[in-house]
Amino acid sequence: MSDARTAILHRVRDALSDRPMAGDIPRDYDLHRDYPDLLELAQERIADYKADVRRVSPAQVGTEITAALARRGAARVIAPPGLPTDWRTPEVTWLDDTPLGLDELDAADAVVTGCAVTIAETGTIVLDAGPTQGRRALTLVPDYHLCVIEAHQVVATVPEALARLDTTRPLTFISGPSATSDIELDRVEGVHGPRTLDVLLIES
Amino acid sequence: MTTAQHESPTSRPAAGMRVALMATCLTDTLYPHTARAVVTLLERLGCTVEFPLSQTCCGQMHFNTGYRDDATRLASRMNEVFDGYTAVVAPSGSCAAMVRDIYPKLPGVGEDLAHRMYELSEFLVDVLGVTDVGAYFPHRVTYHPTCHSLRMLGVGERPLQLLRAVRGIDLIELPAAESCCGFGGTFAVKNAETSSAMLSDKMRCVLNTGAEVLTAGDNSCLMHIGGGLSRLRTGVHTLHLADILASTEEDPWHVTQ
Amino acid sequence: MARNPVTWMGVPTFPKAAQEALGDSQLRSNLRHATHTIRDKRAAAVGEVPDWERLRRAGEAIKDETLAHLDTYLQKLEAAVTSRGGVVHWARDAAEANAIVLKLARAAGADEVVKVKSMATAEIGLNEALEEGGVTAIETDLAELIVQLGNDRPSHILVPAIHRNRSEVREIFRNQMPEAPADLSSEPKALAEAARRHLRKKFLSAKVAVSGANFAVADTGSIMVVESEGNGRMCLTLPQTLITVMGIEKLVPTSRDLEVFLQLLPRSSTAERMNPYTSMWTGVTPGDGPQEFHLILLDNGRTATLSDPVGRQALRCIRCSACLNVCPVYERTGGQSYGSVYPGPIGAILTPQLVDDPHDKQAASLPFASSLCGACFEVCPVRIDIPEVLTHLRARAVAEKSKMSPEALAMSAMATMFADPRKYALAQRAGAAAAKLAPSGSVSRLPFPGSRWTATRDMPMPATESFRTWWKTNRKDSDE
């Protein structure tokens, strides 16, 4: 198809024969905005998508993970390779990604992960397939995703989040559970992705 | 509005300012009372109004329908007609927008006239600095902000500021005011059915206000909505903003006009 | 050259199609509800952002920069994707792109492919082309699935089944989904659940997925897909082979540019602070996601669009559909009247340019399907001056028409009259004389083409005394 390539590039150059001027890109939009309590904003905005969000102290994390999984009746839970050991509470069965087959992912009750960064303004959790998150399928196939966010991972704005990310890693931006508004623009939570998203925000 | 209570209706803020009236072909031919109302109003405020008789049409219909050469020819004419006036005032948001936004893009027409062009409410509020023009209009009125006034010119609240200061007026907010009435020049004919569907929704909103009079800053949109209201024998009158602002206790507007 | 499938074969011109749509009261009510709901939501979502206008200017400038050096950025993208283990293909038109997808699907041993909602693949008629080649395309977005199962056509860029209400969707599912329960309710939640069950096995077993792209970063070769339901993540993550079909204008120069579009797009399209899911990948990542990645760069009329200095701004479009939701014409006629996968204001300027055939009457009718109210420009996140392009394309359409057409002759006669104040005044007097025949001051029935006005509206007659006559009589001394 090299001829198509040559032809298209040739057409592009022809089309631009008037040499359109492109001005400088004005970057005067806000890169950062200040908030009195970033965690509170994150909590409120994530919860707006009908996710259950709780603020917990570092010492409570294990107990809260156990409690959240119990509330949702999750017994067989997927663990990404680098999940902190104190998050792997003994009350449930942890499934390590050895790697797990799709059927095994589908049969699991839940997945517990960390995140790469969280955007408070938009209530968005970003996963970058790092050790606390694992490959993308882990957070996709199970019906319940419990995400644990550490305070230092929370930023206010989208530009701040992108500045922290390596965009060549596989990234998933998650804002609430799977949702659709395709029927009469009536929002329904839960289609193909995890239908339940719970979040624990660890205060520093 | 708490606009300048100190302005007495007899104050003449313009103090002899020379203004050229661009009546627009539609108002000149079909609604001459509106152009006379502009003259009355501006003179009451102290302006010296002139009407260059060689003016005809700004070319908007030709431009919007795709006849650019004709539009350019008419635009160049209007440029010459209004040469030398520091302020040109039109009782039309769309014709003023044509001069201001489109003329500079037409070959050989330039921006000169664009800088001197004002829609009536802009001229009153921004140039003369008045919102209370001493008008009296004891009727129930609702206001439709025409698309070109609203979005191309950005006249914003100005017409409403002027209307709120009118004595005796019962001003009712029009629901879904910012929706287009469906006129759109030749659109009303080329896509007559769609235009009529838009019109019927606009009329429903107007009728829901219970207003006797629908006003706007553009006789073209009023011709469209008024044509529908008249066809349905609704009894609602359409009247240009200038006609309301020109009306006074001494010389009030009469339905028969 | 083959016909561009961006418009549907055999559809009438816009006024004719609209006439039919306007008579469908169910459609009118569905559209009214949907457009007003999302319009209000969008206003709230945008109102929250203090630097919205600055973001719009940045979005506009980034896209203009991309278009101004498109050849350079395309080659950069190609190099970056290739270096990360992807394979880049180029397609001049729909047929070429469809053939590449078919060949790749067959090579992967697939007789069916799962699809993420994608405007590019809808534009080229990929599903039909695959079907002809013996490969079944399965739409996985709920709205696309409704359209596909209903043997229907899309009517909106973001929510293609916007013209259907819940009862209609239930009927489609009951008739077309073998496993749908007999007592399926019309609650959106139950319908979404039915779609989930219908597609689950497909996702877990598909060998090949086909997607579009919202953005591609020239610098790094990263591709971004923005979605809501998770069907996108399923397609982009689980199958072994991923084929992405992307219009050549979907590029941004650097990954930093995404910070602008990730703010502009969700609030403009679904009217949310952020859409539920956004996926981004770069080439192939060992052990994570598809191990074979193909990127097809599609022209299909885009370079023709690029060659028009005024019309090329349509290529800034990020397919948010905000302009559809605020358009008073779209609100009444719905999307199918436009006869194209790109309906509404953006469709009215993009479709005729992609079609690039001056003799195509249907495409030529689209730029006239607007009252030029300007609501579209006001909401466009990349500041496409749609009214400007509409009037520009109208001028192009007029230039193609005969100067002897009744409209052209009438326009020319009027311009000649307006060019001469004496002729103009004479015409006014003639009109005033005729007006004496209508003592009420208006007429209710005019002969064609005036009948197109008077079908629903009275027409005022010229005043017995024009303003200029009054002025001459009463004020002439102050002038001339």
Q: Hey, is C224 helix, strand or coil?
A: strand
Residues in chain B closer than 8 A to C399 (CB atoms): 66
> At residue B57, does pLDDT exceed 90?
yes
Asked if C188 lies within 8 A of A180 by C-beta distance, the reply is yes
Give the residue on C whose Cα is nearest the Cα of B59.
C415
Pairwise CA distance, residues C148 & C128, whole Å: 11
Q: Bridge-partner residues for C243, per DSSP?
A: C210, C294
Q: How do A124-127 and A117-119 pair as beta strands?
A: antiparallel
Give the residue on A whose Cα is nearest the Cα of C66.
A22
Closest chain B C-alpha to C342 CA, distance in angstroms: 19
**Residue B256 — very low, low, confident or very high, per pLDDT cuts 50/70/90?**
low
Q: Which of A162, A183, A193 sits opposite C166 (nearest CB)?
A: A183
Closest chain C C-alpha to A139 CA, distance in angstroms: 10
Residues in chain A closer than 8 A to C324 (CB atoms): none
Pairwise CA distance, residues C356 & A7, whole Å: 17
| Structure tokens belonging to residue A168 | 């060549």
**Which stretch of DSSP H or E encloses residue B160?**
helix B158-164
| Structure tokens belonging to residue A62 | 């294990």
Asked if A185 lies within 8 A of C191 by C-beta distance, the reply is no
Closest C-alpha among C159, C139, C267 to residue A186: C159
Q: Tell whether C275 lies on the interface with A, counting CB pairs under 8 A.
A: yes
Chains touching C (at least 3 CB pairs under 8 A) are A, B
Q: Tell whether C209 lies on the interface with A, counting CB pairs under 8 A.
A: no
pTM of this structure: 0.96
Q: How do B170-172 and B117-119 pair as beta strands?
A: unpaired
Asked if B180 lies within 8 A of C457 by C-beta distance, the reply is no
Mutation target for C interface from A124, A168, A172, A189: give the one with most C CBs within 10 A: A168
Q: Which one-letter DSSP state was computed for residue B167?
A: B
Q: Bridge-partner residues for B48, per DSSP?
A: B18
Closest chain B C-alpha to C313 CA, distance in angstroms: 16
Residues in chain A closer than 8 A to C282 (CB atoms): 167-170
Residues in chain C closer than 8 A to A197 (CB atoms): none
| Contact by Cβ (8 Å): C59, C260 | yes
| Structure tokens belonging to residue B134 | 């001493």
Q: Which one-letter DSSP state was computed for residue B68?
A: H
Closest chain B C-alpha to C453 CA, distance in angstroms: 6
pLDDT by residue for chain C (480 residues), tens digit each?
689 999 999 999 999 999 999 999 999 999 999 999 999 999 999 999 999 999 999 999 999 999 999 999 999 999 999 999 999 999 999 999 999 999 999 999 999 999 999 999 999 999 999 999 999 999 999 999 999 999 999 999 999 999 999 999 999 999 999 888 889 999 999 999 999 999 999 999 999 999 999 999 999 999 999 999 999 999 999 999 999 999 999 999 999 999 999 999 999 999 999 999 999 999 999 999 999 999 999 999 999 999 999 999 999 999 999 999 999 999 999 999 999 999 999 999 999 999 999 999 999 999 999 999 999 999 999 999 999 999 999 999 999 988 899 999 999 999 999 999 999 999 999 999 988 888 888 899 998 889 999 999 999 999 999 999 999 999 876 444
Q: Tell whether C166 lies on the interface with A, counting CB pairs under 8 A.
A: yes
Residues in chain A closer than 8 A to C382 (CB atoms): none
3+ Cβ–Cβ pairs closer than 8 Å linking A and C: yes
Give the residue on A whose Cα is nearest the Cα of C166.
A183
3+ Cβ–Cβ pairs closer than 8 Å linking B and A: no
pLDDT at position B3 = 41
What mean pLDDT do residues B72-87 have? 96
Closest chain B C-alpha to C289 CA, distance in angstroms: 47
Asked if C279 lies within 8 A of A172 by C-beta distance, the reply is yes
Give the residue on A whose Cα is nearest the Cα of C191.
A183
Residues in chain B closer than 8 A to C421 (CB atoms): 53-56
Asked if B64 lies within 8 A of C391 by C-beta distance, the reply is yes
Counting one residue from B and one from C, how many pairs have CB atoms under 8 Å apart?
195
pLDDT at position C318 = 98
- Which whole-number Å values give the CA distances from C267 to A197, C42, C77, C331, in the listed order? 22, 6, 27, 20
Residues in chain A closer than 8 A to C263 (CB atoms): 158
Q: Which of C329, C373, C408 sits opposite B194 (nearest CB)?
A: C329
> At residue B4, does pLDDT exceed 80?
no
Asked if C467 lies within 8 A of B28 by C-beta distance, the reply is yes
Asked if C228 lies within 8 A of A7 by C-beta distance, the reply is no
Residue C480 CB contacts under 8 Å (≥ 6 apart), including other chains: B52, B53
Give the residue on B whose Cα is nearest the Cα of C21.
B194
Pairwise CA distance, residues C75 & C82, whole Å: 11
Q: Which of C18, C428, C471 sits opposite B51 (nearest CB)?
A: C471
pLDDT at position B257 = 46
Asked if B51 lies within 8 A of C479 by C-beta distance, the reply is yes
Q: Tell whether C4 lies on the interface with A, counting CB pairs under 8 A.
A: no
pLDDT at position B5 = 42
